[in-house]
Each structure stands twice: as structure tokens, then as C-alpha cells.
Homo-oligomer: A and B are copies of this chain.
Amino acid sequence: MDNPNRTYTVGEFAALSKSSVRTLHYYDDIGLLRAQRDASSGHRVYRSQDIFKLQQIISLKFLGYRLEEIEELMARSTVGTSLTEGLRRQQEAIEAKQRQLEQVHTAIGRTVQLIEQQGELDRDVLFSLIHTMQSEEEQRQWLQERTSPELVDRLFNQSAEEKAEADREFIEFTREVRRLKGNPVDHPEVQALVAGLMDKTMARVGEENMASVSTLSETDLDSIQFMTSSPFTAEEEAWMNEAMAYLMTQQLGEENLKP
């Protein structure tokens, strides 16, 4: 057994504690773990009891404390309820980080899956999707404040497969837009495209929720534009709006013919 009075050099001490010489120098400099000095050589000398102190430092670092806080904590002799409070705050911070990491993790998962299925992707489309995933929480919050909980539930509480399906459909849609862009808005394929979009949107929102959507104001619709970044150019958007308008007039016309 080692005798408890033996001393260590920085190198030995670093190896023991699995930290680095530089780290020990640093702790010495900032006064977190002061070493004694060999009078003649000026070398740092650590005593075996310093091991415990260093272990405490490492433990507290492990718990997420910064060195300054650690110094303060170690100066206090009692370790009780005051620490619990700090620990609980640490706990909450960790949970927040975990939630964020989880979000990023699934976002990357969805992105990778998309690229694998679809091959090379247009960068605008990809970034638009990533941006949507990233701000999903924000959008949910926003809708929660303005529409019915049922709609929010329906739109966001989807399974991973449903979300993947929505991603695919979106990609498909952008490809069709790129393919048909330039055609007149009354071109049958263009009309089919926008009709399909409206159907899908209706299906996604659900008929029973259309009422709460229609309560959204003009300014609301404007600000939704900023949140959901679109991969389309201004001309593409204008063209699509025209096609939509044409579709609406056609449908209205048919209805007027029926009775």
C-alpha cells in the first residue's frame, strides 16, 4: 500500500487523475488546487490528500459546474439543502438539453432518410424541410394560441411514418412544380397539381377543423410565411397562386351550373 504521505510530481498526478499536466498547472494558476513547491527546483509537489480534492473537483465538473462555482462550493463546509437546490437546477438544465438533442436527433434522422430515398436533393428544398423541422415546436405553440387544440393535435401528433410520408409528398410536390413551371395556369396537369395540393391539405387539416383555420386573420397568415420558409422563388409562388385562383373560379362555376 502506498503510504499516505508520499508526494507526487505534476506528471504522476496527472496520470493518476487522468487529467493533463496543463490542467493541473491551470488549476494551480487560478487557485482551485494549489500545489506546494520544491524550494530548490521550483517544481510543483502534490500530496496524497490532494487526490481527494482533485477527485471532488472532477466530480463536480462531471455534474456540470463551472470551475468558479466549484471553488465556491468547496470553500463551504456543509453540503446540504443549498446544494440540492443547485442540483435541481442542474437537473432541469440537463433535461432541457436532452429535449433539444432529441429534437435535433429526429430531425437529422428524417433528413438522412429523405436523402437516402430521394437521392440528390435540391438544397432549397432540403433547407426548407430542415427549417420546418427545426421550428416545429414554435409553430405548434403559435397555432395552439390561435386555433383549436384538436387541429394542433392532428397536425403535430403524427407518427414518424406519417411525418416521413408528409416529407416525401412535399418533395414530390416541389418536383412537380419545377417540372410544370412555365405552363399556363389552366394547363390540365397544373390544375391537377394544385387540386391535389388542396385535397391533401384538406385531408391533413380535417373538415371539422376548417372552421378554426378560417378564424386566422390576414396578419396571422403573413407571419406564418416567415415561419415556414418556402423553397420556391417569388415567380413560382405567384404562378401557383394564379393556378389556385383559376381552380377556385372553375369550381365555383361548376357549382353554379349544378342546380
Q: In the complex, what distance in Å separates the CA atom of A108 from the CA atom of B105?
A: 24
Binding site for B on A (CB under 8 A): 1, 4, 16, 52, 55-56, 58-60, 62-64, 77-81, 83-84, 87-88, 90-91, 94-95, 97-98, 101-102, 104-105, 107-109, 111-112, 115-116, 119-124, 126-127, 130-131, 134, 222, 226, 229, 234
A81 touches B115 (CB 8 A): yes
Contact in complex: B123, A77 (CB < 8 Å)? yes
Please give the distance in Å from A171's CB to the nearest CB on chain B.
13
Residue of B nearest to A116 (CB): B84
A94 touches B101 (CB 8 A): yes
Number of copies: 2
Chain B residues positioned under 8 Å from A80 (CB to CB)? 115, 119-121
Flag if A130 contacts B62 (CB, 8 Å): yes
Using Cβ atoms and an 8 Å threshold, which residues of chain B touch A94?
A: 101, 104-105, 108
A194 to chain B, nearest CB (A): 19
The 8 closest A-B pairs by CB, nearest first: A80-B120, A79-B123, A59-B130, A4-B234, A62-B134, A56-B127, A59-B131, A84-B115
**CB < 8 Å: which of B1, B55, B77, B112 contacts A91?**
B112
Contact across chains for A79 and B126 when beta carbons are under 8 A apart: yes
Chain B residues lying within 8 Å of A102, measured Cβ to Cβ, are: 98
**Closest beta carbon of chain B to A6's beta carbon, Å:** 12
Assembled-state Cα–Cα distance A168/B54 (Å): 25
Tell me the complex Cα distance, A218–B105, Å.
45
Smallest CB separation, A208 vs chain B (Å): 30
A-B contacts, 29 listed (Cβ < 8 Å): A1-B222, A52-B127, A52-B229, A55-B131, A55-B229, A56-B123, A56-B127, A58-B131, A59-B130, A59-B131, A60-B130, A62-B130, A63-B108, A64-B104, A78-B120, A79-B121, A79-B122, A79-B126, A80-B115, A80-B120, A81-B120, A83-B115, A84-B116, A87-B108, A87-B112, A87-B115, A91-B109, A94-B104, A94-B108
Q: Are A91 and B108 touching (Cβ within 8 A)?
A: yes
Taking the nearest CB of chain B, how far is it from the CB of A234, in angstroms? 5
